[in-house]
Amino acid sequence: MTTSTTFRPVIAIHGGAGTITRASITPAQQQAYRDALRDVLQGAQQKLAAGAPAEEVAVEAVRLLEECPLFNAGRGAVFTADATHEMDACVMRGRDLACGSLAGVSTVRNPVRAALALMEAGGPVFMIGEAAERFAQAQGCEMVARDWFSTEQRLTQLRTVQAAALASGREQVALDHTAQSQTQAAPLDERKKMGTVGAVVLDVHGQLAAATSTGGLTNKKPGRVGDSPVVGAGTYAKHGVVAVSCTGVGEAFIRGSAAHTVAARIELLGESVDQATAEVIHRVLPPLGGDGGLIAVGADGEVSLCFNSEGMYRGQIGIDGEALVAIYANEALAPA
């Protein structure tokens, strides 16, 4: 495949998908999410316009999402059943299929930057646990105390889920983003909440990259890894084809090789980005319980923000245009 002769550089981001309805969030909360998405897009746009390579732009967007406590990655990551944080991240560069993935890190301030450092080091592409943290530290990544990631809201979320589990007598995990996570009022439905952040970029040089970062599931078993750091499942980028970042029920996205299936359909069948993402989100994943969504950008800058849940925090921005964001299904992108 070759780079398209005409293409529009672009950044697309997501901040997780799930049961996000107008009725479940106050207007002020909605606006806070829209503002946050806009700020992230504008921050990453500066790098895009300055000619930074796609992977650096994608990592900057995800870093900004990690820094924002509204989203389940980095600061604001949800708690495991042991009241700890375990984060995963991945970055992939389309040009040469270089990638870096980390899983189960607890002391790296920005897991996505550690993933980039791993990619750039040119050795292992996937590292886990404390060894991954030692690697990140040796590469100069900023390290923080384990409780740096904790927020009061996420702890309340954990206690709510654990109380519900006790009451129901069965194990429960919760994805992120629902009425309940905002108000602690709605009944728990573990299928309705999922949280991950991600970015896909087509840079000014016509190169693609994708990055994803997650705090996992509230009350998840420690040691559980979802699709985010699994190349081909939650994250994938290939030159001349597509860059993809997913969010949703990680198990289904792994079983369905979600991100690579999008790429394979474009590359092998000649489908458009919209066709391939719709096929995966609406046909491949649902039979696997794959609630969620993904963002994708093709070699010409065609963007797809596709999901089968009731909402997905999402947005996109060109090299000099305005940031456009949306939250709900059937909602057009618009300025924040």
Active site residues: 196
Q: What residues make contact with a second copy under the rule CB under 8 A?
A: 97-99, 103-104, 123-132, 134-135, 171, 220-226, 230-233, 236, 250-251, 254-257, 260-261, 264-265, 268-269, 288
CA triple 159-164-168, angle to 5 deg: 150
Q: State which residue, 28 or 268, has the beta carbon closest to a second copy.
A: 268
249 assigned binding-site residue: yes
How far is Cα 230 from Cα 210, in angstroms, rounded to an integer? 12
250 assigned binding-site residue: yes
247 assigned binding-site residue: yes
Tell me the closest approach of the beta carbon of residue 207 to a second copy, in angstroms.
16
Q: State which residue, 106 or 309, has the beta carbon closest to a second copy.
A: 106
- Is residue 285 within 8 A of residue 292, CB to CB? The reply is yes
2 assigned binding-site residue: no
Which residue from 328, 282, 330, 321 is spatially nearest to 12, judged by alpha carbons? Answer: 321
Tell me the closest approach of the beta carbon of residue 54 to a second copy, in angstroms.
16
147 assigned binding-site residue: no
Tell me the closest approach of the beta carbon of residue 265 to a second copy, in angstroms.
7
Q: State which residue, 254 or 312, has the beta carbon closest to a second copy.
A: 254
Which residue from 104, 132, 112 is spatially nearest to 67, judged by alpha carbons? Answer: 112
Q: State which residue, 7 or 135, has the beta carbon closest to a second copy.
A: 135
Tell me the residue type at 195.
G
Tokens of 122: 């040119």
Which residue from 103, 131, 93, 135 is spatially nearest to 118, judged by alpha carbons? Answer: 135
How far is Cα 269 from Cα 184, in angstroms, rounded to an integer? 46
User: SS3 string of 94-144?
Assistant: CCCCEEEEEEEECCECCHHHHHHHHHHHCCCCEEEHHHHHHHHHHCCCCEC
Tell me the closest approach of the beta carbon of residue 56 to a second copy, in angstroms.
19
Q: Residue positions in the annotated binding site for substrate?
A: 224-227, 247-250
Q: Residue positions in the annotated binding site?
A: 224-227, 247-250
